[in-house]
Every structure is written in structure tokens, then in C-alpha cells.
Amino acid sequence: EISWYLNARYIAAAESAWRIFHFSISELHPTVIRLQVHLPGQHLVAYNPDEDPARILRRAANERTMLTEYFKANVLNLSDESRDPPIRARNYTYQEFPQHFVWDPDLKSWHVRQQGSAIGRMYFVAPTAGERFYLRTLLSVVRGPTSFNDLRTVHGQTLQSYHEACIERGLLEDDG
């Protein structure tokens, strides 16, 4: 079947020219931004195995991720008052954030979006992942959190876990 398909496939002159010059054949619109979900201090770190472990740990502690910079943008309450209605970072959930802000991978920071559109999509986290799953659940609902602890704070009380925060917010039910 595979050889029949390859033998029967016809590439016209226009398509072959596009492929030769490496033009894009298809396009995704709007852009989908994949958003990291990690617990405090548990983000991915790339390193050289020959590098000093102490240096790796120092660099990892100071590394900025999409999620930690989302919290920072909310602390600073990044905004663009010239728009109608004004864009303010604290008005959006983590998933909504890429619609109004752009991630700069070189500077590792969020900036107000000037053109185009994008959709935020958090990485899948299975319910068996425990606290990480509950963190993801909270990120999809809570607008403008300023830290991991802020996500666990409900009605002025900081709870022990993200699971408790989900229950307190009415996002989950338990047998009790």
C-alpha cells in the first residue's frame, strides 16, 4: 500500500517549487503558546553533565520560567492603558495571558502584545500527578495570582496544599 501511494502521488510544479525554496506549505492561525506547569523549584533545567553540580543548582534557583514570570507580571501588573479597554496583567488567567501578552524567550519575560493573536494551552497534567494537577486546575481559574502561595490563598487564608485550595474554591468535591 505504501509503495502504491508513493508511486501514485503527483507533485505539481507549483508545489515542488514551494518545497524547493522551503516556503511553508501550511500555517497555524492563531498561534498556540504552550504554557509550562510546574511546582515551585521543580521546573526543567538543561545542563551539561560535566558542569559543576553546585553551579547547576545556583543557576536553576535563579532560572525564570513562563509560569514564574507570569507571577512577576502580575506583581508588576503590566498594563497598556492606551487600549480600550485597558490591558492589565492581573485581569487574566494563565491560559488567557498569551492573548494579551507575548513571551520573549531570549529575555525570558512577558511583554504587552502589539499585534496578532495567540491562544494559551497549558501542558496536560494527569489527575494522578497530585499537587501539580491541582496547581493546573487553579491556574485555569484564578485571575492574577502573584505567587505559588497566592494560588493557595482562599478568602485571606493560606491553605496547606493546592488540593485544599481547589476544594475550598468549589472546584472539586470530596466524599466528606
Q: Please write the tens of the pLDDT for every residue from 114-130.
A: 888 899 999 999 999 98
pLDDT above 90 for 161: yes
Across the range 2-6, mean pLDDT stands at: 75
Q: If pLDDT is split at 50, 70 and 90, which confidence band does 35 have? A: very high
Q: What is the DSSP letter of 142?
A: -
pLDDT above 90 for 140: yes
* pTM > 0.85: no
CB proximity list for 118: less than 8 A, separation 6 or greater: 30, 31, 32, 33, 98, 99, 102
CB proximity list for 67: less than 8 A, separation 6 or greater: 35, 36, 37, 38, 43, 94, 139
Across the range 67-76, mean pLDDT stands at: 91
CB proximity list for 175: less than 8 A, separation 6 or greater: none
